[in-house]
Amino acid sequence: MSIVDVAYGLTAPVEAVMFFMMFDAFFEKRKSFALWQYVVGIGALAVLLKIVNDYLLFRLGNAAGMICAAIFVGLFFYRTSLLKWSFISFFVWFLFVSTEMFVLSMISHVFNLTISEAINISDYLVLGIIVSKAMAIAICYGICVKFKSKKFEVGGTYWLLFIALFSSAIIASFMIYRMLNKLNDPAYNIAAMLSAIGLYVSMFLALYLYERSAKQTQIIHRQEQAEQHMQHQLKHLDEIILKQNELRRIRHDINGHFTALQGYLDRSEEH
């Protein structure tokens, strides 16, 4: 199995994950599924996408096949209108194609190659697959964070970190393959591919941990605000109770004065 086969083999699972990320961001879940059920769903979609890519790659039916496969599997987990199904699925497919074309253009410009050479030379093809899929999944991830974080705002720092980490990973990927090109040793191909993939995995893990930390911080802050509000309400309630007790005391004193006055008037009438 060549390095190109390995890269193509990872393509379908990554694409399946991106479809599910977008479905989860925009569609309503049918019920609460267990994690293993989502894993099975992603695996089933990856198999269908692999079949579509093997038989319909670079053909007009590729888009229709991928969209139909995504809808077929996604219907088990999510519910929405047919228009939304079609639009989101087409958007994800368009994201695949547009990122691939953009990355191929970057490779041809950086390494002074033609598009045809970038596709036919295995090293550059693998670089294109890795960077384009990483770029597509980064866009999907950013969209998911934006639309799923309605209750929790991650803030501008998160997006600066997102751009900085992703830009650094892309630059590092190109530098790795530029050095590989200078070495001209196929023995380093697998190591270069694993290094590039590791960069993106580390990047997404760092972003995920930062997002979780930011949400946890906001939860703690809101809990502290709720506790402060509760303490303020309890203090206000204590003040009300004190005022009520004071009113009761005054009412008791007034009743005592009225009783004494009534007794005085009764004695005056007897005399």
> In whole angstroms, what is the distance from residue 156 CA to residue 162 CA?
10
Q: Could you tell me which residues are beta bridge partners of residue 79? A: 28
3-state percent breakdown (helix, strand, coil) of the chain, nearest 5: 85, 0, 10
First to last CA, the chain: 125
List the structure tokens of 243.
């005022």
What are the distances in angstroms from CA 79 to CA 53, 70, 72, 126? 26, 13, 12, 36
Residue 46 pLDDT: 92
> In whole angstroms, what is the distance from residue 158 CA to residue 195 CA?
24
Q: pLDDT truncated to tens, each residue of the chain (271 aa)?
A: 567 777 778 888 889 999 998 998 888 888 888 888 889 999 999 999 989 888 876 666 788 888 999 999 999 999 888 889 989 999 999 998 899 888 888 888 887 888 888 788 777 787 888 888 888 888 888 888 877 765 566 677 777 878 888 888 888 877 777 676 666 666 666 777 777 778 778 877 887 787 778 778 777 877 888 888 888 888 888 888 888 888 888 888 787 777 777 777 766 666 5
> In whole angstroms, what is the distance from residue 82 CA to residue 89 CA?
11
By the 8 A CB rule, do 203 and 165 touch?
A: yes
Q: Phi/psi at 185 (nearest 5 deg)?
A: -130, 110
Residue 43 pLDDT: 92
Identify the H or E element spanning 257. helix 189-270
* Secondary structure (3-state) at 155: coil
Q: At 232, which amino acid appears?
A: H
